[in-house]
Structure 1
């Protein structure tokens, strides 16, 4: 545990407890029943200021459950620590569960409830976060599909070589995808998009959603169909029942919320292009290979090839 961070937290009146988790971005430490601290790796306070604005907007939103949010930032030279609201409950499923079973009816309901709760939040300040590190927030003045197309185009241009090795016609496919995204009509139901709504980030207790955690990766205000599509596909990415779980979740989401399955496929293709090289060191990375398979799927290709009937 970072002793400088411990001293800094004690200086500000907190009594640090156990390490709750650690990852690429930083280390999370328990402070109290209501607060945790995140010790960031290589981030300065200016980078994290949007998290305060986002947290304030979250606090004022009508979401019917608690969401993790930054409530204070403390610093000491190159050391930055955020104080965040602790969210009660346990994860719907652990992250990267080996040999994950087919999604259960109760899990489908709870994932849908999480999406329904997010749909209540529409405030503009909820789009203040950079859509990805080193990227700007999505513009209020642009349609969601146009903003997503710009991001897809930039991320592909930044590192196209891995996809080109695996998919010979990838440049033509991306060009067609960009055209479809730009042609999407603006939705009348723009709301908060979590962006990384995996079951590990959905907390439950006594059969109800108690909160959501880990906002910041593709978090913005936009088309709720994006969150639904990616949530269905990322519920189980690598297990033997992954595709069946995606289909079951998609069918219920589209029926419950009146979504368009063809738009789901366009958003899945965009997500695959945007994130394929985000974690990858080489072409053997698991997430990269998942993105490649997504872009090779017949249903995804068909949705890109055929203009939507709007």
Structure 2
């Protein structure tokens, strides 16, 4: 399916039937491909049914592109098989690592942005894109602690990855806000400096204060509505770069489908407003 993507939602099993029935203009859905690395069965059947009606994006969480090793060959093979089967409109991954020499961690872990890391990650992205025969988008991470040893500012690091590999970028606006609050940098400066051309997708999500530290540490929890501050950053961003495919991420504390759809409609309205100002086609 070829379609112009505007605003979409993360697809959850609880919402399969509502998603299949929905015909909202420009609606698309995003899934974690690792949940569909199967040869058949009801979950893959639902995905294929929804794919016949709405575009699908694959948002990976386990390629571990920032590890000091090439992506796991079996994982990459499974991702390629799924991509060939689903023909996704977008494929994305995180600027993080989660596996190292056979040890797997259930998290997206940070790393020092050194020249060595830049070369290694660029090589891993190039390998992935060559295997998939598709361009992928790399997502900026959320930050919770200061890490020593950075040689690159994050925006510049991501821009250089895009330049070296031809990959796209996925700008998670909630990650920007959470990281800025936790580490003490300017979210608006980050948004204003982010390169426009490589942005293939935008994520919006909710966050929560840490149970013990409160507002001193925000968690990218994906279990709340998008905060007003994140909406303001999003409006600022698309006012500068124009509308891009935008996803409402909600992974926990799931409301009814119509509640998420209304939040998605808010992103859609802002995108249309930005497009009108830019005189988009």
Taking structure 2 as the reference length, the TM-score comes to 0.31
Computing the radius of gyration from Cα coordinates, the structure with the larger value is 1
Taking structure 1 as the reference length, the TM-score comes to 0.29
Identify, as 1 or 2, the structure richer in strand. Answer: 2
